[in-house]
Amino acid sequence: MGITHSQAHNTDPTPQRIKIPPEQRAVFTSKNPFSIRPPAFVTFHDDFEQILGPDPHLTIAYEDRVPFAHDAGVFLPDKDTVLVSSKQFVPDGKYEKSVTVSKLTRAGDGSWRRDNIPTLAVMTTGGTNYQGGMLFCTQGDYRDPGGLVLMEAEKPFRTRPLLNNFNGRRFNSLANLALHSDGSIWFTDPIYGYDQGTRPKPELPNAVYRYDPDNGGDVRVVADGFGRPNGICFSPDERIVFITDTDQIHGDGSVDKTRAATIYASDVLVDRSTTWLVNRRVFAAPDFGVPWAIECDTAGNLYAACGDGVNIWNTRGMLLGKILIPDGAASFCFGRPGELFLLNDKKFWLLKLAKHVRSAVLDRAGLQVDEIDGADGGPDANVYGDGSRQTGGIGHGRGAGGGAMEGESDEDSLFGS
């Protein structure tokens, strides 16, 4: 099942480090700043240099002939492992499209190993850490309705459906999700599966939902009016939710550049224990491709996987800079402090940034780790910010380990015994 791989390497040229003056951005000249050959670090604002740090480093940590790294991107700090899902493809010896889930594990010498994870989850897309395990969106197919699926972080990687319908109607094809500290799960549901010919005719509009498993399983639409809602994340203080509309690219491969490729921001309003989204506005619009996946760092900067790589905006929606890689980024996730993993289908990139760059998601969940001084990598080199070594997980009403709390039976925990 396992596939070993040699030391992380970089078969591409050393990334250029380029700064674009404002006057070159405003008026086209013979030196077009928008035609830079990747890989490259492109600075549009001085603050981007603080994110890059003095010595940014970009390597291909793992690559394969199959498109194994397209979505999900779930970093498990205590295991120094990243879970990824593939794009839809027809594996050798098969006749139908499928999606594979892989576990990429870093060894102490910096090399990476990929293992395929057998799973009953159908057409896995976005994912995140959840109660000591993982929570994935699944598109489903003609037989399986898809929805939210829990997966264990250890063998045998058992799965359990958490939600697969909206008041009796099948979801379209869930894309991405974000967790709120109140325990609710927010997710996007575009019609990409129908576009791709793997899902039946939609029964619901393109929409964004909020599911509250701790409040009677309440599920409701919190935002609609999108062409293809896709990426979603919260600001570090959770007062703003960002949602992308990738309507410019459809699942059948067609592209209409007059349609949305936009990141929207909405304020999260809590009124009498009810959560609403208000004041929706355009936050940013990438100039190349669409913003597939988004996430914030602890400073509130917003990162987006786009057609040319990862684009980064500050809290005011100003483009700070770009990390350009060949063929762009399908998704990404944060790793250890100062690390970003870029998913590029057949390539899994490791980007080293300034050490202060940290994931807002991991930080909010108490999963952010630091490296011990003098350690040479590997899982044993990680400790939590408070000096402890515990298995963490995002979740509401449970201990950081995701297991049964005091007074709670094993049967009441994530998967039971």
What residue segments make up the domains of the chain, in order of their start? 2-385
Pick from 303, 305, 294, 295: which is nearest to 330 by CA? 305
Distance, CA of 145 to CA of 171 (rounded, Å): 7
The reported pLDDT for the residue numbered 128 is: 96
Q: Could you say which residues of the chain have pLDDT below 70?
A: 1-13, 28-34, 93, 370-417
CB atoms within 10 A of CB 348: 26
Asked whether the bond before 205 is cis by omega within 30 degrees of 0, the reply is: no
The reported pLDDT for the residue numbered 121 is: 86
The reported pLDDT for the residue numbered 406 is: 31
What CATH topology corresponds to 2-385?
Answer: Neuraminidase (2.120.10)
The reported pLDDT for the residue numbered 36 is: 86
Amino acid at residue number 267: D
The reported pLDDT for the residue numbered 386 is: 37
The reported pLDDT for the residue numbered 381 is: 41
The reported pLDDT for the residue numbered 272 is: 77
Q: Which tens digits make up the pLDDT trace of 19-56?
A: 998 777 777 665 565 678 899 999 999 999 999 999 99
Whether the model clears a pTM of 0.85, i.e. scores above it, the answer is yes
* Residue 359 buriedness (CB in 10 A; 0-12 / 13-18 / 19+): buried
